[in-house]
A and B are shown apart, each in its own frame.
Chain A
Amino acid sequence: MVDKILKKKNLGEFIEYLEKDYAIVGPKRKADEHVFDYIDDPAELALDYTTTILPPKKLFFPPREPLYRYEKVDSEVILHDLSERWDKKRVLFGVHPCDLNGLLILDRVFNDKFKDPLYLHRRKNTLIICLMCENPTEHCFCDAMGTGPTIEDGYDLLVTDIGDRYYFEPGSRAGRGILKWDLFKNATKKDEKEKEAKVLEIKNKLHSDFKVDGLEGNMKGKFWSRLWDAHTKKCVLCGACNFTCPTCYCFDVVDETDFTGEKGERVRIWDSCHFENFALVAGGLNFRGGRIPRIKLRLYHKFCYSIEQRGVYDCVGCGRCIQFCPGRIDLREIIKDVQRR
């Protein structure tokens, strides 16, 4: 199938067309920032966004999610599955390549030897319309991570803004099906040239001054280096980098019981490896009682352990951990330091 063109003025109609079969989620304005959220009116879709506060992982792996409910009746226990079952599929419209790459990493976590049914249900029932990112921020380094600005797979449709039109490329059968809609026109050679020019223009906006080749090995060699003390002084262990990270997946599981103790829910909630009790076991033994081991755990998980676990770095260069760090710790500076010494 050839690539397709949609006039910008038809975007609203396209969204309405999709709404017949899908719920629409996309970037939406929230105060001075953007967030991914359900879209009720096509006008809410803010495709000119730079980045969102939370990455799209929250749509597949929510910050708090009930797993099941239990109820004690006489001397029996009754369990109710609380995992969501959707009757309507969903379209995630406008996710950038870095964030989509983040989802592809989470896929490897939740679809490994063990399968996570809650994540996989949402993933399977969400169509991905990926949008080429036009405005990398000062924090972005997808070019260094190889996770942007271009992307090869993982999307149903890939959209590039080329002035008064959108250039659509299909990446799956479902994507091709959508492109059969009347208002799509076949892309011409000229459209394709314009798209390529646009991609080049975007690439030229990214200028990371470091490479991650060999980073895993360099991390290994520097486990006991003093460089970690220097870089982690300003960390307040708040967990913001974990929660805003497209690939951080650690969670806690807790029982929320009502006052009678007769019924309650087991829920999972996002957790942070920076929190003091993350590796604390009964009896008061804490495997990472100190702050530096906890901060190092996150960095080693991203750039060293992940290679052994999944064969990829668990970082997509989205820059959120830099943007939201209250201590202004710049991950890029840490990587450069590891690579330099």
Chain B
Amino acid sequence: MKNQYIPRLAVIKEVKDETSDVKTFKISLKDGRSLRYSPGQFVELTVFGYGEFPACFSSSPLSQRDYFEVTVRRVGDATNAIHGLSAGSIIGVRGPFGNGFSLRMLKRKDVLIVGGGVGLAPLRGLIYYLLEKRGDYGELKLLYGARTPDDIVFKDEMVDWDMDVLLTVDRAGKGWIGNIGVVTILFRDTEIKPDNTVAVICGPLIMISAVSAELLKRDFSEDQIIVSLERMMKCGTGMCGHCNIGAKYVCKDGPVFTYRETMEFLEAAF
């Protein structure tokens, strides 16, 4: 039986600065194979000598086949270490893990995507996927909030996304003429109706809870709200016990849940 704790070796192909503390890494497996994954799933990345950390795919498995991307914010040992690496560096990859977004649930629906901070990473993978299969989905809309204009990730790509994109920042800097305030203020500027719509949220806990409250107020049902959650993770395989919320393991049963599912957890999900 294979020792599943041993990562597959992979090479960083390209590094792109998104913001001062967020970078996107383009990664290929060293053996030339491609990872089969779906949007919303995640990998465990190892920076040898520094540790392992979970990160969601920020790429789409459709068009981007011989590599995948992750977008990582620098916050601790392993994430700082990967920020120090450049093209050609060897890292370790375990996974994919997790359930990912239920694409079947989104089919022929309008999709309202709400992201905060680096939480846009997995949503970017989803967005590319939906755009590549544009005909299968209804109207697409992104509401995104970042701390400051400089913290907006994927800024240069967003303009090309064939969908409504609304941005806001907590604190504006010089030259910002857009919205200021938490992401829920964007609800004022655009029509958001529950009919035939599914909302997908990823970001800080407080944002998830504010946005879902707002959606429920607008008559979204608990099944129309999908959230991607974060917890401490060590194994990714439902064994180490670290990522549980009540009886669920976020690594194995999640990280994507419907709002209704989270209501059944005994502990608070967000």
Contact = CB atoms under 8 A, between A and B. Distances in A.
Given A68-B3, A305-B247, A282 B76 contact: yes
A210 interface: no
B239 A114 contact: yes
A116 B239 contact: yes
A221 to B, nearest CB: 10
B2 interface: yes
A328 interface: no
Contacts of A223: 266
Contact of B5 (A266, A271, A273): A266
A321 to B, nearest CB: 17
A250 B232 contact: no
Interface stretch (B44-52, B161-169, B181-189): B44-52
Interface string A205-231: 000000000000000100100000000
Nearest to A254: B51
A297 B266 CA distance: 10
B252 A114 contact: yes
13 contacts: A67-B6, A68-B5, A70-B48, A70-B92, A76-B90, A77-B90, A117-B3, A120-B1, A251-B240, A281-B232, A282-B75, A293-B267, A305-B247
A240 to B, nearest CB: 17
A49 interface: no
Interface in B1-21: 1-7, 9
Contacts of B240: 250-253, 268, 271
B90 A300 contact: no
A77 B241 CA distance: 29
B246 A300 contact: yes
A110 B1 CA distance: 13
Contact of A109 (B46, B231, B239): B239
Contacts of B231: 279, 281, 287
B239 A281 contact: no
Nearest to A306: B247
Contacts of B88: 75
Given A251-B240, A257-B49, 18 more contacts: A75-B89, A79-B7, A81-B6, A109-B239, A112-B238, A114-B239, A250-B241, A251-B239, A251-B241, A252-B242, A253-B5, A254-B51, A255-B51, A271-B242, A301-B241, A301-B244, A305-B266, A309-B247
The 10 closest A-B pairs by CB, nearest first: A250-B241, A305-B247, A114-B237, A117-B1, A308-B247, A282-B75, A67-B5, A261-B49, A282-B76, A77-B90
Contacts of A305: 244, 246-247, 266
A279 B48 contact: no
B79 interface: yes
A304 B248 CA distance: 12
A68 to B, nearest CB: 5
B241 A72 contact: no
Contacts of B70: none
A282 B5 contact: no
Contacts of A254: 51
A250 B266 contact: no
B230 interface: yes
B235 A253 contact: yes
Q: Report which residue of B50, B235, B244, B245 has the largest number of chain A beta carbons within 10 angstroms of its beta carbon.
A: B244
B140 to A, nearest CB: 30
Nearest to A110: B239
Interface of A: 67-68, 70, 72, 75-77, 79, 81, 83, 109-110, 112-118, 120-121, 220, 223, 249-255, 257, 261-262, 264, 266, 268, 271, 273, 278-283, 285, 287, 293, 297, 300-301, 304-305, 308-309
B105 interface: no
B103 interface: no
A280 B232 contact: yes
Given A67-B5, A79-B6, A251-B234, A279 B242 contact: yes
A283 B74 CA distance: 10
The dominant DSSP class at the B interface is: loop
Nearest to B1: A117
A77 B47 CA distance: 11
Contacts of B205: 285
A79 B31 CA distance: 14
Given A117-B3, A252-B240, A281-B231, A75 B9 contact: no
A112 B237 CA distance: 9
Given A285-B205, A304-B266, A278 B239 contact: no
A115 B6 contact: no
A271 B241 contact: yes
Nearest to A277: B232
Contacts of A110: 239
A239 to B, nearest CB: 13
A79 B9 contact: yes
Contacts of A251: 234-235, 239-241
Contacts of B46: 266
A103 to B, nearest CB: 15
Nearest to A283: B75
A58 B46 CA distance: 27
B79 A300 contact: no
B239 A255 contact: no
B190 to A, nearest CB: 30
A18 B89 CA distance: 52
Contacts of B51: 254-255
A27 to B, nearest CB: 28
B208 to A, nearest CB: 13
Nearest to A263: B49
Contacts of B5: 67-68, 253, 266, 268
